Amino acid sequence: MKNRVVITGLGVVSPNGVGLPAFKDAIKNGVSGIRLIDRLVELKFEAQIGGIPEITEELKAQYFTPLELMKFNASGILYGLIAGVDAWNDAGLKLGNIDEEPDWDSGMIFGIGSIAADKLRDGIVLIDKLQVKRLGSNFVIQTMPSGITAYLAGKLGVGNQATTNSSACATGTESILMAYERIKSGKAKRMLAGGCNDSSPYTWAGFDALRVATYKHNHEPEKASQPMGRDASGFVAGSGAGALVLETLESALERGAHIYAEILGGDMNTGGQKGDGSMTLPNSVGVQRCIKEAIKDAGIHADDIDVINGHLTSTGKCNLEIKNWSEALNRKGKDFPYITALKSMIGHTLGAAGAIESIAAILQLEEGFLVPNLNCKNIDPVILDLVDEEKITKEYIKKDLNIIAKSSFGFGDVNACVIYKKYTG
């Protein structure tokens, strides 16, 4: 018998809100976290805007010791640790104690999109100056891909699997599905899952060089990210972290934990960069297969989906994503589900995107509302041929919801789709 898996804790570090209350308020009210970044102006980037969470020194001190903070500049790990600890606390779980045994029933799969580019840059400068001994004792743990789980495992005191995954922009959603599978199969009672991404210009520079980041709205940052928009001119780079505590329904009920939602199932695959797929674009056959297999794994019908929380990056390819959803679900027009695009508020947070956007989806399920899609005044006409315009909400709407499908697609033609359900017992 397979375990039912529920979500009992949430933590978020987003460009439009740090902490669950601030984030929830922002997504309900359509608050954008995108702004002009002075450092990108100094470096003469074409795209000079982005989404960076506002983290104060006082907030850092709540999660790191003074010694840890002395030379700490790995922003992705910082965001991930704050979100992870917050999710653990939100679930009513205790942080680890050095005098206690690890919690063998609890583990984590926490993804990262890119490692600490700032820290690597500092290290390269020292090495080139023949000052390798000045790298310090924390250089390795901040620059190894699994640095996020190394920090979090110690803070939380988990003793089960502790793994870092990385699948480009599908990372956050993939981590949730991998954690779900471990719990469902009985190998763990609970898992922390999530994703994080740093805010370094050295990370964003490659996207600027690829010319996939928009530069047309440097003077009006909040209007730059236009998922599903007719005039979409590229994505806005973002950063942050999202973390979710997943556990067996039995464990959650035994603890009297608050249950946000249930995970019914999902799927991950790759289109193999075949057909219309490439290193940067998904193979439509692979996308549609991923969606169909997720629905099958969840044990639902395509008609049961109330809302799609899309990937929808604002690169001008949103119409292809909508077409794939329409064909996979065999639904169009007024029959098409409601669709939300959180990147209109926070930009594309890369390795963190699937986790942050999943948190938004789960909050919508629990409280019954649809978030506004910003910058959707001029919707792509190709999309309007497939979706009734009223299904692309432009303002906060109270609505009873039962099932949300969350999709993520990443460089390398990788796909992930997870199905969330309102918990009703």
Which residue in 169, 196, 290, 417 is the catalytic one?
Answer: 169
Active-site entry in 217, 311, 318, 376: 311
Q: How many residues does the chain have?
A: 425
Distance CA 266, CA 305 (A): 13
User: Taking Cα atoms as reference points, which of 48, 49, 44, 46 lies closest to residue 33?
Assistant: 49
Question: How far, in Å, CA of 18 to CA of 12, rounded?
Answer: 6
Q: What are phi and psi of 47, to 5 degrees?
A: -90, 110
As a whole number of angstroms, the distance between CA 141 and CA 124 comes to 16
Clarify whether 311 is annotated catalytic. yes
Q: Which of the following is catalytic: 217, 290, 318, 348?
A: 348
CB 347 within 8 A of CB 238: yes
Q: Could you confirm whether 348 is annotated as catalytic? A: yes
Q: Is 169 a catalytic residue?
A: yes
CB-based contact 243:87 (threshold 8 Å): yes
CA atoms within 13 A on the CB side of 93: 29
Question: By C-alpha distance, which of 350, 109, 345, 151 is closest to 239?
Answer: 350
Q: Under a CB-based contact definition with an 8 Å cutoff, are residues 108 and 153 in contact?
A: yes
Q: Which residues are catalytic?
A: 169, 311, 348
